[in-house]
Structure 1
Amino acid sequence: MHPISKAAALAAVTALFSVGLAGPAAAAEGLAGGTMGLAWGLPFCGLLLSIATGPVFYPHLWEHHYGKIAAFWAALVVVPLFLSFPFAPALTALAHALLAEYLPFIILIFALYAIAGGIVVTGNIHGAPGVNTLILAIGAVLASLVGTTGASMILIRPIIRANDDRVHNVHVVVFFIFIVSNCGGALTPLGDPPLFVGFLKGVDFFWTTRALATETIFVVGVLLALFAALDAVLYAREGRTRPDPTPDSRVGVRGLGMLGLIALVVAAILLRASWRSGIAVPVAGIHLALEDIVSNLVMLGAGLASLRLASPENRRLNGFNWGPVIEVAKLFAGIFVCIVPVLAILAAGRGGAAAPLVALVSRADGTPDNVMYFWLTGLLSSFLDNAPTYLVFFELAGGDPARLMGPLATTLAAISTGAVFMGANSYIGNAPNFMVYAIAKSMGVRMPSFFGYMAWSACILLPLFGLVTLLFFASGAPLAGR
């Protein structure tokens, strides 16, 4: 493009954001969301739409250029932000997003991914209904301890090997995604990225365990029961007609020493929550607390230590590679940048451009509509990444962790469970879903298409979530008390 054309394009973009969106008072009021128009959210929506459609509709282009696509959308926020607002508040907003929120988020993802990659289940067992159900139950517990990504990495290959002589084995992987890659991760901030984002926003580490235990046990229990019944019917119907390509052998677990590093990561997170040093390091207009810096360094150190301490053979058996973490790192850098103006608009509440959305999740008297919070958070998490979706509705509910854990605890539970549970509704709702899909296909499982998988989730998950609504979030729900 000719330099003059580039300048003209930049001027047009800047004019759109600074004149048509921010209004004349924007420069004086910094990032006051009440002065910002909805078009400031277009880069955020564009990036999430790219994440949703790229792996499905243009996979080759996406695979090679997703980092550039994320950088493009982020630039559509960064450039207008500095041209429309004073330098200091613009820099502070971006620094807070990247250093105070993105950095610990991606360090945790890296640490759990690297450590879990050193734990491998060896041997093979016969995939009978009882065995399969037990593996899924174990995976549900692991998901809240090592993350849904870590638990999926550890168990997906063993459960596929156990069932590779079965005529019907697609349902095993589908329920694996439902339970292990999603719903099982609802009990700690380690389990699923949206809950860790909540933790970074001030939600108590153990609040998720206390507040979401009943919902999680109910959902996982129902899914396990449905799976056991379906698997028993299919197992009885198919007989034993196929040769087993991986004969049964003694099962073992290698790399249990990595559990010590996982404990170190947990300790680092608890340190962040419990220690108040009173010391802060100023960086780019924000102040990073000493306890946060130490926590990040401990988590990073644990992840790096696993690279030296874990057996290379264990990683090879796990099919370990850095692709998923690199993708998450690049995409979430873009997401955390693009969401900056969105959060500013949401913070303005009824006085900002997001007033219609505020009205949609609020009753006439101004109290939150927990049913709408559950379903809107969940349905968006089905197709957009569930971590930023959680963050949007967290801020929409006020963004005050003390209030959300107190009088609005049911609202926070609706947001949390919606983001975690309904990430299972599609292949792209949660990071491990597509990874499990790809591994299963590579191991010979005839996985359903994008829309075929959604047929499974529509038949199984949506009715279950309707029941969750009635039991936990509807007005007068019998189990809604916290």
Structure 2
Amino acid sequence: MVQPRAACSRKAAAGAFASVALAWPAGAWAAALPDGAALGPHWALPFAGILLSIAVIPLFAPAFWHRHFGKVAALWAIAFLAPFAYAFGAAAAALALAHAFVAEYIPFIVLLTALYTIAGGICVRGNLHGSPRVNTAMLALGTALASIMGTTGAAMLLIRPLLRANDNRRHVVHVFVFFIFLVANVGGSLSPLGDPPLFLGFLNGVGFFWTTRHLALPMLFVTAVLLTVFYALDAYFYKRPGEERAPGLDPSPDSLGIVIEGKRNFGLLALAIALVLMSGLWKPGIVFDVAGAHLALQDVVRDTALAVLTLVSLAITPRTARTGNAFNWAPIEEVAKLFAAIFVTIAPVVMMLKAGERGAFASVLHVVTDTQGRPIDAMYFWATGILSSFLDNAPTYLVFFNLMGGDARVLMDTGASTLVAISAGAVFMGANSYIGNAPNFMVKAIAESRGVRMPSFFGYLGWSGAVLIPVFLLTTWLFF
């Protein structure tokens, strides 16, 4: 649970933000953002700084990061806002801040919190026998669930049952590495609910079922190959002499059946899906101006109702279900603080990308386009994927989405193949490293707490290089 000190600090931060907003001149919200062509590449430094901090500091100073990641994120946000206000006026900085929070951050974090809370109230009890067939079936189930309840929700639902099923085996590292590949990443590619990059695309106008139709074949191909490789590898280890411990040494003996606690949350999950779908189909045309940012009625209804579902889940879920899942707020608190800074600092990057040839990132555009200026889908797939591997796949998706112009209607039509490449690169290649997607580290931490010796950062890169990169090369040849 959140500690009182953290709660006080959040209240203080909220109060400070409210004070600044109230003290801002009334005309500040009427300002316009500067043309992206007027911005130099140095405006991207705070964005690069927050992403590099996320990637590097936890590796070399984990204790410092655990205590101060919120302060680090706030410093990078200020490192953008203060100079931006000085250069273009307080009004432009206020508008950039309002757009980042109102149009993107709040819907993003409300959905993640709802899915995390609802999924955290579903506890699977009992113990299966971790044979190759059972393990492969559990990975396939998690992959399918990831597009419905999010990669975080599916990973948190199934990681503990998978740990219990395999706690009598000696070679299990590969089980959880492939779990990260499939459940925490690839499985989230079929809907905006699945992975944060796709939800950001949905917020920017990409249709709810567009990803389902266009990413289904690449996703099924990658999933089938990975499950086949996993089954062969798991069967090899399973057949080795002495692989299974004696029955008396099994920490959690096999049980006759599986019991699911907190089943009411499945109904809440269905309502959450319906709300997101509603906001994409119902367009009443009513738009509110909130501090200069535009907020549609359907989005207000969706986010308010999702917040209500979160509270309902907390109220109706048995305490034993959340205790069984070791549920706490730490993961979502970290995501909330870090992404607040990411959404603020990415603002000038988006402006420069939208300027196209006139912007500071024209050279990036040249790398992913041919001599006629047409996009090269394979380059978009790998450029998005490589950055997603070592930064974070959600902001990386936004970068390349805006590099293509940021107009969802055009991208879903004439730019469909490129948008598929960007989406697949962001979702699939978030699996290439522990820092590519938030659930990756969560799975690693939970597995290690149960005694599994997970690979180091570079050891995991060895796994992804040996398994994922060949699969993605073949995916490029087939689809891009």
Q: Say yes or no: TM over 0.5.
A: yes
* Deviation larger for 274-283 or 405-414: 274-283
| Separation in structure 2 between the aligned mates of residue 469 and residue 280 of structure 1, nearest angstrom | 41
| Separation in structure 2 between the aligned mates of residue 272 and residue 110 of structure 1, nearest angstrom | 18
**Which position in structure 2 is the counterpart of 1:8?**
none
Aligned pair 1:71/2:74, yes or no?
A: yes
Shift of the alpha carbon at 1:366?
0.5
**Which position in structure 1 is the counterpart of 2:251?**
245
**Which position in structure 2 is the counterpart of 1:89?**
92
Aligned pair 1:305/2:312, yes or no?
A: yes
Aligned pair 1:278/2:285, yes or no?
A: yes
Shift of the alpha carbon at 1:93?
2.3
Corresponding letter in the other structure for 1:291: Q
Match of 2:126, SS state, is strand
Shift of the alpha carbon at 1:210?
0.4
- Kept after mapping to 2: 8 A contact 1:187/1:208: yes
Aligned pair 1:324/2:331, yes or no?
A: yes
Identity %: 58
| Separation in structure 1 between the aligned mates of residue 342 and residue 39 of structure 2, nearest angstrom | 19
Corresponding letter in the other structure for 2:448: K
| Separation in structure 1 between the aligned mates of residue 163 and residue 375 of structure 2, nearest angstrom | 43
Aligned pair 1:345/2:348, yes or no?
A: no
**Which position in structure 2 is the counterpart of 1:227?**
230
| Aligned residue pair count | 446
- Kept after mapping to 2: 8 A contact 1:30/1:86: no
- Kept after mapping to 2: 8 A contact 1:148/1:184: yes
Q: Equivalent of 2:400, from 393, 396, 417?
A: 393
Corresponding letter in the other structure for 2:291: A
Shift of the alpha carbon at 1:287?
2.6
Corresponding letter in the other structure for 1:71: A
| Separation in structure 2 between the aligned mates of residue 66 and residue 204 of structure 1, nearest angstrom | 34
Match of 2:258, SS state, is strand
| Separation in structure 1 between the aligned mates of residue 283 and residue 228 of structure 2, nearest angstrom | 45
Corresponding letter in the other structure for 1:234: F
* Deviation larger for 67-76 or 48-57: 48-57
**Which position in structure 1 is the counterpart of 2:430?**
423
Aligned pair 1:379/2:379, yes or no?
A: no
| Separation in structure 1 between the aligned mates of residue 433 and residue 318 of structure 2, nearest angstrom | 34
Shift of the alpha carbon at 1:86?
3.4
| 1:198-224 alpha-carbon deviations (Å, 9 max, x no partner) | 000000000010000000000011100
| 1:34-72 alpha-carbon deviations (Å, 9 max, x no partner) | 010000000000000000112211100000000000000
Unaligned ranges ≥5, structure 1 = 1-27, 474-482
Corresponding letter in the other structure for 1:116: A
Corresponding letter in the other structure for 1:74: A
- Kept after mapping to 2: 8 A contact 1:121/1:158: yes
**Which position in structure 1 is the counterpart of 2:419?**
412
Q: Equivalent of 1:465, from 472, 477, 480?
A: 472
Aligned pair 1:446/2:459, yes or no?
A: no
Aligned pair 1:53/2:56, yes or no?
A: yes
Aligned pair 1:175/2:175, yes or no?
A: no
| 1:328-358 alpha-carbon deviations (Å, 9 max, x no partner) | 0000000000000010010111111101001
Corresponding letter in the other structure for 1:164: D
Aligned pair 1:123/2:103, yes or no?
A: no
| Separation in structure 1 between the aligned mates of residue 234 and residue 469 of structure 2, nearest angstrom | 20
Aligned pair 1:315/2:303, yes or no?
A: no
Corresponding letter in the other structure for 2:250: D
**Which position in structure 1 is the counterpart of 2:13?**
none
Match of 1:124, SS state, is coil
* Deviation larger for 151-160 or 241-250: 241-250
| Separation in structure 2 between the aligned mates of residue 68 and residue 245 of structure 1, nearest angstrom | 41
- Kept after mapping to 2: 8 A contact 1:254/1:314: yes
TM-score by length of structure 2 reads: 0.91
Unaligned ranges ≥5, structure 2 = 1-30
Corresponding letter in the other structure for 2:428: F
Match of 1:237, SS state, is coil
- Kept after mapping to 1: 8 A contact 2:262/2:318: yes
| Separation in structure 1 between the aligned mates of residue 58 and residue 311 of structure 2, nearest angstrom | 29
- Kept after mapping to 2: 8 A contact 1:264/1:298: no
Aligned pair 1:133/2:136, yes or no?
A: yes
**Which position in structure 2 is the counterpart of 1:268?**
275
**Which position in structure 1 is the counterpart of 2:342?**
335
**Which position in structure 2 is the counterpart of 1:5?**
none
Corresponding letter in the other structure for 2:82: V
* Deviation larger for 282-291 or 168-177: 282-291
Corresponding letter in the other structure for 2:126: G
| Separation in structure 2 between the aligned mates of residue 199 and residue 30 of structure 1, nearest angstrom | 23
Shift of the alpha carbon at 1:84?
1.1
Q: Equivalent of 2:218, from 215, 236, 239?
A: 215
- Kept after mapping to 2: 8 A contact 1:205/1:273: yes
**Which position in structure 1 is the counterpart of 2:112?**
109
**Which position in structure 1 is the counterpart of 2:6?**
none
Backbone CA RMSD of aligned residues: 1.1
| Separation in structure 1 between the aligned mates of residue 129 and residue 195 of structure 2, nearest angstrom | 30
Aligned pair 1:364/2:371, yes or no?
A: yes
Match of 2:124, SS state, is strand
Match of 2:472, SS state, is helix
Q: Equivalent of 1:403, from 398, 406, 410?
A: 410
**Which position in structure 2 is the counterpart of 1:190?**
193
| 1:445-480 alpha-carbon deviations (Å, 9 max, x no partner) | 01111100110000000000000000000xxxxxxx
Shift of the alpha carbon at 1:29?
7.7
